[in-house]
Amino acid sequence: MTNHVSDMPSWGIVLLIVSFLYSIVFITKPVRRAALHAGMTQQRAGTIQAGIFVFYLVYLAYVSVLSLKGIFDVNSMPPKVMIWAGMPLMIILFGFIGNTPLFKQLLGAITLESLIAVHLFRLLGVFFIILYCYHLLPAEFAFSAGLGDIITAVLALPVARMVSNGKSWKWAVYAWSIFGILDIIDLMVIAAITGANGNLREMTVFPFVWFPAFAPATILFLHTAVFRKLHQLKKQQQVDKG
Q: What is the pLDDT of residue 197?
A: 60
Cβ(63)–Cβ(210) below 8 Å: yes
Say whether 150 sits in a helix, a strand or coil.
Answer: helix
Residue 49 lies inside a defined structural domain of this protein? yes
Residue 168 lies inside a defined structural domain of this protein? yes
Cα within 13 Å of Cα(65), Cβ side:
6
- Please state the domain count of the chain: 1
Confidence tier at 1 by pLDDT (50, 70, 90): very low
Higher pLDDT, 76 or 112: 112
Backbone angles phi, psi at 73, to 5 degrees: -80, 55
Q: What is the pLDDT of residue 61?
A: 97
Per-residue pLDDT tens for 2-23? 689 999 999 999 999 999 999 9
* Average pLDDT score, the chain: 92
Dist. CA 131–CA 239, nearest whole Å = 51
Cβ(123)–Cβ(96) below 8 Å: no
Instruction: Tell whether the model's pLDDT for residue 62 goes beyond 60.
Output: yes
Residue 179 lies inside a defined structural domain of this protein? yes
Residue 39 lies inside a defined structural domain of this protein? yes
Residue 4 lies inside a defined structural domain of this protein? no
Whole domain around residue 88: which residue ranges? Answer: 10-241
DSSP string, 165-186: HTSS-HHHHHHHHHHHHHHHHH
Report the DSSP beta bridge partners of residue 5.
206
Within 10 A of 43 (CB to CB), how many other CB atoms are there? 8
Residue 203 lies inside a defined structural domain of this protein? yes
Confidence tier at 242 by pLDDT (50, 70, 90): low
Residue 31 lies inside a defined structural domain of this protein? yes
Dist. CA 62–CA 59, nearest whole Å = 5
pTM of the model: 0.94
Residue 5 lies inside a defined structural domain of this protein? no
Per-residue pLDDT tens for 127-143? 999 999 999 999 989 99
Per-residue pLDDT tens for 197-233? 667 899 999 999 999 999 999 999 999 999 999 999 9
Residue 185: is it exposed, middle or buried by C-beta count within 10 angstroms (0-12/13-18/19+)?
exposed
Region 54-63: mean pLDDT is: 98
Closest to 6 measured CA to CA, from 213, 203, 215: 203
Dist. CA 242–CA 230, nearest whole Å = 18
Phi-psi region of 117 (alpha: psi -120 to 50; beta: other; left: phi over 0): alpha
